[in-house]
Structure 1
Amino acid sequence: MALHAELHRHLGGSVVPRVLWRYFERHSTELISRFPNYGEFEDFYTRPRNTLDEYLELHTLVESVQTVETLPYFIYRLVRGAYIFENLAYLELRYTPYLRTPEHLSQSKRIDKMAEIVDVVGKASHIQECPIVTSQILCMHSRLPFEVNKAIIDLAVENRQYVCGIDVAGGDSYYADRLQEWISLYDYARSQGVNTTGHLYETTAGCYPELLPYLKRIGHGIQIPLLYPELLPEIARRGQCLEVCPTTYIKTGTLQDIRQLKLVFDRCFEAGVDIAICTDNAGLHNVRLPFEYENLLTYDIIGFAQLQACQEAAFRHAFAWPYTHRPASLLNGLLQPETPKVMAMKD
């Protein structure tokens, strides 16, 4: 029974090591020629990094092979694994479409090619034997020019059947020099009715309160309860949700101990701020969503009641979940024949 919702998963970081290794063996052996065996490749691919920038460099390894031709291969295995091993009912995949277009083309031609990428990802994500509700979040990028980032928003507007929102990625320390530009882009997205999230307050270098009013959800956001808890009441008032990805903060060196997240959860619950537990880069971490749940429980960061609240929040804040309740309500209906068995659609 599919039960869970995943709101923060990157397409580039979602390819599990074994699938990527097999692809390289068949098509790009030069990319793994320095690894004598799979074990050493897996260790390199999944080991912790010292900084977020170092960690993000791994995305380029996968982006280079995620093309129009190969995306169906990767997405089929991604969705199949999410359905079978993670019990996902809902999955938002986020990525920068521009970075999946041929590098030898001009900027304008690469922008034109982005629509094809979105179409391929959208069609490949719908797999009959793996009935997951899927949608895409298109990521602007901190190292791409304004013209490309605006085109990404326009692409989201034009492809609502596949796209449920926009994001900004690429390292939150790089926003400062172009802060007014990001504000204008998010303001434009909101004016077009596009849902918004953004990598913000992930690290101590990525704290920009000016951007918060433009977001429906906050990508990571852990530095808010850790360093700026005075912002929590306003975030609760706006109904914003934090997308917390526990393993990421250890892999990037942002936190030294996962138990530091207890303060994040405690302060958010106390302030009435919702948290959705996510994986971020399940492939890079070699973990799946149920493991994130189990790890938080094992370290006494949250209890079962808080876990259930986070699971419910994930469906409540999902941009494209079409029902009014999470799938558990359907299961309850099956166990109680006198109750309706069909979930009501959202208005």
Structure 2
Amino acid sequence: MKFGFWYCKDPDKFKRTRQNREQIIRIIEEVLVALYAELHRHLGGSVVPRILWRYLERSESDLIERFSNYPEFEDFYTRPRNTLDEYLELHTIVEGVQTAEALPYFIYRLMRGAYIFENLAYLELRYTPYLRTNPNLDQSRRIEQMTEIAQIVGRSSRLKEYPIVSSQILCMHSKLPYEVNRAIVDLAAQMPENICAIDLAGGDAYYGERMEEFIELFEYARSLNIKATCHLYETEGHYPELLPFLNRIGHGIQIPLRYPHLLKEVAQRKQCLEVCPTTYLKTGTLQEIRQLKQVFDQCFDAGVDIAICTDNAGLNDVRLPFEYETLLTQDVIGFEELQACQDAAFRHAFAWQYAQRPASLLDRLLKSEAS
């Protein structure tokens, strides 16, 4: 009696083999469908334009009056910008509507899409909690409300029907006062079950005049055993003094492009670059995707890990598998390099507690069945 690649003369043994195979198939279908890890995704920029448009319609928002129809809105929301500053202005649209009441609506749809359309097994959502609080409150009360925001994001991102391992990265912001940024670090320390790290965002061109302040905050986070990443070396910001405080580097593409002498120490610290290909076209940082070939080649040569990410999946009109496909079809990387980046994403994930990525577990199950 033949069954695939197996040959069995014992009917009882064949029956057990078939039952085992069917059980493994069920596990693969129900549990191990998701395969990828996303380390750099902003809560605000992840909202798909159609979902945002429907929310604005239902809530009768004044924002919708700026556009005559949905195609006009989608074009405005997803078209490339000339600079990073212009690109970041789009975040304010979503931040203004992602209130405590609205966050479950947006996060449910975000997690559903991430699981069904992107095969994500792991997702780190980053955002600035202060910018989701009630702007009519004074600063101290808004700081208090940040705890509620983080709790809502935590509850809303844990869905039985879309089983993604998820955690939050709280972003300090280059345009927020010191007191707010320090409170963001404190909040991360108070909620390790929901928050895995801190970040600094808001445009790396603005860090310089407050560098001592940001170094102090990263030192403070380290004293509390909080992991850290930072939007750094994305465009013009050249701040090597921040690098020693980071576990990962948000973007970091200007290191191999303009400051390759730094790659050796990045490799020694075992830091990973969070590279978001489509973003650099949307912000005018790069003119074509093939310019990233130098980034990948130099990092691989220097032993620096890269995790491929989407950054703002909604604003960029892209999903993680599309980023993979673009890099492959444009000959930026090959399949072996893609595999290395996918492995690196799980290896550097702040809240992934398993020794292997899901694809390795699936491979082990299949080998166990064959034996």
| Range class of TM-score, shorter chain | over 0.9
1:76-225 map, 5 Å: 76-203=108-235, 205-225=236-256
Partner in structure 2 of residue 35 of structure 1: 67
Q: Deviations over 1:9-37 (max 9, x none)?
A: 00000000010000011113421112121
Q: Aligned partners of 2:115 and 2:167: how far apart in 1?
A: 15
Matched, 1:291 2:340: no
* Structure 1 pair 305–65 and aligned structure 2 pair: CA distance change class (3 A): same
CA contact (8 A) 1:333 1:339 kept: no
CA contact (8 A) 1:243 1:278 kept: yes
Deviation at 1:331, TM superposition (A): 1.1
- Please give the secondary structure, in 1, of the residue aligned with 2:280: helix
- Please give the secondary structure, in 2, of the residue aligned with 1:86: coil
2:289 is aligned, of 251, 258, 279, to 258
2:345 is aligned, of 293, 314, 320, to 314
- Please give the secondary structure, in 1, of the residue aligned with 2:171: strand
Deviation at 1:337, TM superposition (A): 2.6
Q: Aligned partners of 2:80 and 2:137: how far apart in 1?
A: 34
Mark the runs of 5 or more structure 1 residues left unpaired by the alignment.
341-347
Partner in structure 1 of residue 13 of structure 2: none
Q: Aligned partners of 1:67 and 1:85: how far apart in 2?
A: 26
Q: Aligned partners of 1:301 and 1:81: how far apart in 2?
A: 27
Matched, 1:235 2:237: no
1:279 is aligned, of 287, 296, 310, to 310
Deviation at 1:306, TM superposition (A): 0.1
2:89 is aligned, of 47, 54, 57, to 57
Partner in structure 2 of residue 344 of structure 1: none
CA contact (8 A) 1:156 1:163 kept: yes
Q: Aligned partners of 1:285 and 1:125: how far apart in 2?
A: 22
- Please give the secondary structure, in 2, of the residue aligned with 1:306: helix
Q: Aligned partners of 1:167 and 1:34: how far apart in 2?
A: 33
CA contact (8 A) 1:13 1:282 kept: yes
- Please give the secondary structure, in 1, of the residue aligned with 2:161: coil
Deviation at 1:133, TM superposition (A): 0.1
Q: Aligned partners of 2:353 and 2:271: how far apart in 1?
A: 19
Identity of aligned residues (%): 72
Q: Aligned partners of 2:344 and 2:182: how far apart in 1?
A: 30
Q: Deviations over 1:205-245 (max 9, x none)?
A: 21100000000000000000000001001100000000000
- Please give the secondary structure, in 2, of the residue aligned with 1:259: helix
2:257 is aligned, of 201, 219, 226, to 226
CA contact (8 A) 1:246 1:279 kept: yes
Q: Aligned partners of 2:203 and 2:370: how far apart in 1?
A: 48
Deviant stretches of 4+, over 4 Å: none
The amino acid across from 1:216 in the alignment is: N
Matched, 1:3 2:42: no
Partner in structure 2 of residue 16 of structure 1: 48
Q: Aligned partners of 2:248 and 2:43: how far apart in 1?
A: 19
- Please give the secondary structure, in 1, of the residue aligned with 2:294: helix
Deviation at 1:175, TM superposition (A): 0.3
Partner in structure 2 of residue 244 of structure 1: 275
- Please give the secondary structure, in 2, of the residue aligned with 1:337: helix
Partner in structure 2 of residue 267 of structure 1: 298
Q: Aligned partners of 1:248 and 1:305: how far apart in 2?
A: 23
